[in-house]
Amino acid sequence: MAKRKSQLVMLDHSKAKVMLLQKYLEKYLNIIANDGFTKKINVFDLFCGEGVYENNGEGSPIAILKTLKDLHFINKAKNKSITKVDLFFNDKDESKISKLKSIIDEKKLHYTDFGKLTFSSKDYKTIIESLAGYIQGLNNEKAFVFIDPYGYKEIRASEIKKLLQSKKSEVLLFLPTQFMYRFNEKGTPEALIQIIEELVDIKSWKPSLSVYQFIDQFKDALKNYLGRDYFVDTFSIEKDASTVFCLFFFSSHIRGFEKMLETKWQIDDDEGKGWSYEQTGNLFAVYKTNPLEEKLISLLSSNRKIHNGDIYEFTLRNGFLGKHATEIFNSLQANGKLEVLSTNNEKVRKGAFYVSYENYKSSPQKVYFKLK
């Protein structure tokens, strides 16, 4: 049977997907491999494909291997020893796995002192349970799982939950949201019902007006389903005006989650779609509301005492970074709208908000905020 064109030639949206995977892995591996605590990192690419496409585009396994190789040599040059990283590549299609093996050999992409390299040609469905069990049993080890199917029919939210439950893993899932959304418009088909049914009562699922609205609704449903122990964010990739894919990122660690958000903002900034905050309140500025500013103001309007740690977590859960909240607070403070007080109710130095991971860990209640 002739292969579909989109599965043979690496298209731009696939490049964007692999770029996000690679940039995130660089950050993740660098931090975890040097944390002095983790004994080993396990990276699983469950739908890995053949590695190199006919147009020489490089797929996820090559991105993973190159990232690991770079990390290894950078650390070696600095005389630093790093944690071993075991790689697991799986694809149902045996011929793809054998092609991948020969590319790795030919291009010398892996050395035994990096860690173990394992291949398998199994159906995702048959390995997910044992993989979840394997991750559960890890001791002082971490796992990163990349799930990149052609469609969405095979994937279940409950499987993602199982992979995350040990709190030792992060999951990156790529889904063709546009196709899911299209089906959603026409009336939800069986396969979409199954994945959504796990998340919400299907009767409360609203038809979406755009694919982006669908992604938001789907993300919120995933957040509710997984609960507050987990962090979920998305990165959308537009292949063309009518085709939007989406990467869903899941983590049980706020630090890993922050790295993912940093990667996402880094890519957005490079493409000019990133953060642009225009201060409001300026007489001459066109009034423009920033979505994070709106959310922060609404949070601070509640009767609860909101500390720096709350702001950090809230900001990340909404897909933004601590520096974005700080920028907004700087502006609110400059316009006399924000008061920052220490726990003994003393005014704090201007511009000090303590919205960072370090403060979140060491002093999440250093200061609290009041709207004036």
Ligand X SMILES: C[S@@+](CC[C@H](N)C(=O)[O-])C[C@H]1O[C@@H](n2cnc3c(N)ncnc32)[C@H](O)[C@@H]1O
Residues of this chain that interact with ligand X (CB under 6 A) are: 18, 47-49, 59-60, 90-93, 96, 123-124, 148-150, 154
Instruction: Quote the least distance from Cβ 84 to ligand X, whole Å.
Output: 23
Closer CB to ligand X, 4 or 78, in the complex: 4
Closer CB to ligand X, 124 or 357, in the complex: 124
Q: Is 119 helix (H, G, I), strand (E, B) or coil?
A: strand
Q: Which residue in 319, 300, 301, 320 sits closest to 310, CA to CA?
A: 300
Q: Decide: 280 and 209 in contact? Cβ < 8 Å.
A: no
Phi, psi angle pair for 267, to nearest 5°: -65, -45
Beta-carbon contacts of residue 9 (< 8 Å; ≥ 6 apart): 53, 54, 55, 57
Instruction: Quote the least distance from Cβ 305 to ligand X, whole Å.
Output: 46
Closer CB to ligand X, 157 or 296, in the complex: 157
Closer CB to ligand X, 176 or 322, in the complex: 176
Closer CB to ligand X, 59 or 319, in the complex: 59
Closer CB to ligand X, 1 or 209, in the complex: 1
CA distance to 55, 160, 168, 361, per residue, from 356 (Å)? 43, 28, 22, 9
- b vs e for 76-102, b when ≥16 Cβ sit within 10 Å of the residue's Cβ? eeeeeebbbbbbbbbbeeeebbebbee
Which residue in the block uniquely carries the two structure tokens 């050999």? Answer: 105
Q: Decide: 299 and 306 in contact? Cβ < 8 Å.
A: yes
**Dihedral of CA 327/333/337/340: which sign?**
positive
- Six token digits for residue 269: 């900034």
Closer CB to ligand X, 63 or 311, in the complex: 63
Instruction: Quote the least distance from Cβ 174 to ligand X, whole Å.
Output: 7
Closer CB to ligand X, 28 or 353, in the complex: 28
Instruction: Quote the least distance from Cβ 333 to ligand X, whole Å.
Output: 45
Q: Is 354 left (phi over 0), alpha (psi -120 to 50) or beta?
A: left
Give the other-Cβ count within 10 Å of 158's Cβ.
Answer: 12
Instruction: Quote the least distance from Cβ 15 to ligand X, whole Å.
Output: 9
Q: How many helices (H) and strands (E) does the chain have?
A: 14, 10
Instruction: Quote the least distance from Cβ 144 to ligand X, whole Å.
Output: 14
Instruction: Quote the least distance from Cβ 17 to ligand X, whole Å.
Output: 7
Instruction: Quote the least distance from Cβ 39 to ligand X, whole Å.
Output: 27
**Dihedral of CA 350/352/355/360: which sign?**
negative
Give the other-Cβ count within 10 Å of 237's Cβ.
Answer: 20
- Six token digits for residue 260: 């993912």
Residue with the CB atom nearest ligand X in the bound state: 59
Instruction: Quote the least distance from Cβ 150 to ligand X, whole Å.
Output: 5
Instruction: Quote the least distance from Cβ 98 to ligand X, whole Å.
Output: 13
Closer CB to ligand X, 10 or 311, in the complex: 10
Closer CB to ligand X, 52 or 135, in the complex: 52
- b vs e for 22-57, b when ≥16 Cβ sit within 10 Å of the residue's Cβ? bbbbbbbbbebbeeeebebbbbbbbbbbbbbbeeeb
